[in-house]
């Protein structure tokens, strides 16, 4: 296979490791979207989050957003890595 053909090879065929990375990232992204829903709901109905300390809520959302950023960064770097 020539270098050019290799570069045109569909990404999905190249690595099962990256596919696993994508699956984990997908799950984390669902967590992000749920966090956004939570933020909006808790803004409209503040009594919803009264039973959970605000600091714990913020820490959880911060952890989810940070995890998503790390996972997407890893995936993006792997996905765009120079191909030999």
| Binding test (CB under 8 A) with another protein, winner from 14, 22, 31, 60 | 22
Question: In the complex, what is the shortest distance from the CB of residue 2 to another protein, in angstroms, rounded to a whole number?
Answer: 15
Q: How far apart are CA 71 and CA 51, in angstroms?
A: 30
**How many residues of this chain bind another protein (CB under 8 A)?**
37
DSSP string, 15-45: -HHHHHHHHHHHHHHHHHHHHHHHHHHHHH-
Residue 69 engages another protein in binding (rule: CB under 8 A): yes
Among the listed residues 6, 7, 15, 52, the single contact to another protein using CB under 8 A: 7
23: tokens are 């699956």
Write down the least CB distance from residue 11 to another protein, Å: 6
């Amino acid at each position: 296979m020539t270098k050019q053909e290799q570069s045109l090879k569909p990404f999905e065929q190249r690595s099962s490791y990256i596919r696993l990375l994508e699956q984990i990232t997908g799950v984390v992204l669902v967590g992000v979207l749920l966090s956004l829903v939570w933020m909006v709901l808790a803004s409209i109905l503040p009594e919803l989050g009264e039973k959970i300390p605000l600091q714990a809520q913020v820490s959880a959302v911060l952890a989810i957003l940070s995890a998503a950023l790390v996972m997407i960064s890893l995936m993006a770097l792997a996905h765009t890595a120079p191909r030999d």
